Amino acid sequence: MALIRERRQFNLRLPLPDLSERRPRFSLPLPPTAVTTNNTSSSAILAAELERLEVLGHGNGGTVYKVRHKRTSANYAYKLVQGDSDPTVRRQLFREMEILRRTDSPYVVHCHAIFEQPSGDIGILMEYMDYGTLETLLKSNGTFSEPKLAHVARQVLNGLNYLHHTHKIIHRDIKPTNLLVNSNMEVKIADFGVSKIMCRTLDACNSYVGTCAYMSPERFDPDTYGGNYNGYASDIWSLGLTLMELYMGHFPFLPPGQRPDWATLMCAICFGEPPTLPEGVSEEFRSFMECCLQKESGKRWSAAQLLTHPFVCKDR
C-alpha cells in the first residue's frame, strides 16, 4: 500500500519593502554645514578644523576616518559618503542621520556633528571608539569569558531597551561589527543605516534588510515564525547569535571556518533547531541564550526582561 503524505507548503519569500522603505520620507531638512549636539566644546565643530589621521574602514558607499579636531586635539570617527553615491546608500545615510539626531544614550554611539558639503558629500562626526568593534576584539584577544559576555550583554540590552521603548527604533542589523568598544570596555550600538522607526504600533517590519546571517526566522518566513510579531524581537535573536559567536569563536550555525551562503543560512535558520552552547557553560548562560534564541518571535524575551535575567545581574 502506498503511503501518501501531505506536502507542507513553505511560504518563504523576500517581502518587498513598504512604500516608506522605497522612498525617502524625512520631515527634517538636511543639516547646515556644522551642527553641534551635546558637544564638550563651547562652539560648533567646523569641517575645516578636522584633520584626517587614518582610514578606519570602508563599506556601504562610504569611508570612516579617524580624525583629530585641530582646536582641541580630540579624536573622532568621521563617516563620509560621497555626493555621487548610490541613491539607496544616501537613503540609508539620511535614515541614520535622523536616528542619530533623536538618540542620546551612553549605550548608543554619540553623534557630535553632521556636515553637508556644497559638493553633496555628507559627513557624520561621531565619538571615536579606540578598540574598534567586538569582531576586532574577538580576532585580537580570542573568545570571551562568561563574565565578559555578561558585561557586553548588559550594555547592548540597555541600548536596545532605550531604542525600542524610548524611540520605537528597531536596529535590524545587530552583529559583532556594529557593536563598538573602547579601552574602558564600554560597548555602544552603531550603524543605523538599515534601522526602522516604528511610527505606529502596528507598523510592519519584515522587509529584507540587514545582514542575513544574523536575521531571525521570522525575517525569512514571517508567516511561520512571526506570531504576535512586533519587530523588536528580531534584534534579540541577533544579539543572541552575536553573544554565542563571541563565546564559541565562530558563527554558531556553521562549523569553524565555513563561509556561509544565503541558501545554507536560510535552511539552517528556518528549518534547523536554534544553536546551542557546548557542555560546561553555566545554567544562567544557557538559560539566557534560550530566552534570546526562541524560533517563535513571541516567545523571545524583550530587552527589558533580559536585563532582569540572572546571567546579566549576578556580577553587577
Q: At what angle do helices 233-248 and 283-292 cross, to 10 degrees?
A: 140
Cβ neighbours of residue 244 under 8 Å, at least 6 residues apart? Answer: 252, 275, 277, 289, 293
CB 206, CB 219: distance < 8 Å: yes
CA distance 31 to 38: 16
* Bridge partners (DSSP) listed for residue 189: 108, 179
| Length in residues, the chain | 316
Which long-range contacts link 226-232 to residues 24+ away (Cβ below 8 Å)?
226/297, 227/296, 227/297, 227/298, 228/297, 228/298, 229/205, 229/297, 229/298, 230/297, 231/170, 231/196, 231/198, 231/203, 231/204, 231/205, 232/160, 232/164, 232/170, 232/302, 232/303
CA distance 287 to 299: 13
Which cell is 234 given?
Answer: 528580531
Q: Which residues of 13-25 are buried (b: 16+ CB within 10 A; e: fewer)?
A: eeeeeeeebeeee
The residues assigned a catalytic role are 173
Cα 316 to Cα 108, 154, 161, 184, 291, distances in angstroms: 20, 10, 18, 16, 20
Number of other residues whose CB lies within 10 A of the CB of residue 261: 11
